[in-house]
Amino acid sequence: MQQASDFLAESEALEQLIQPLQASDFARPTGFKSWTFEKILRHLHFWNHMANLALTAPDDFQAALKPAVEAMMAGKTLPEIEIVAFPQTDLELVSQWQAGFREVASAYQQADPSDRVAWVGLA
């Protein structure tokens, strides 16, 4: 599936951009909602993980999604929800994200493009 290959290429490009960062750099705010590099990376990792579950373990996806949606409905922000699932920080989070994006890319590269996958708000 071309989209999976594109996702991998984009993730690898981001990987190259953050490679020179030191652990302390991940606490710096960015121009995106003043989120830190760490919040952005955790956000990407969380939703990559969810996309992988949606394809490879739909029941686990629904189980993981339910508390996240309930927390959003209760007024929690995405970063507050995502840090519960992935509390790792700086370079440890980078390592998890790297393994995770490769895993999700591989899963979707092998997927049948005609298969339908549940997503947030969709059955």
The pTM of the full predicted model, rounded to 2 decimals, is 0.92
pLDDT (tens digit, 9 = 90+) per residue, 26-83?
999 999 999 999 999 999 999 999 999 999 999 999 999 999 999 999 999 999 999 9
Domain extents for the chain? 2-18+34-110
Residue 122 has pLDDT above 70, yes or no: no
Instruction: Tell me the C-alpha to C-alpha distance, in Å, between residue 2 and each of 6, 8, 57, 95.
Output: 6, 10, 22, 25
pLDDT of residue 4: 95
pLDDT at position 121, please?
67
- pLDDT higher at 121 or 51: 51
Q: Mind listing the pLDDT tens digit for each residue in 78-120?
A: 999 999 999 999 999 999 999 999 999 999 999 999 989 999 8
The dihedral through the CA atoms of 4, 6, 66, 87 has a sign that is positive
Contacts of 69 (CB under 8 A, 6+ apart): 120
pLDDT at 123: 46
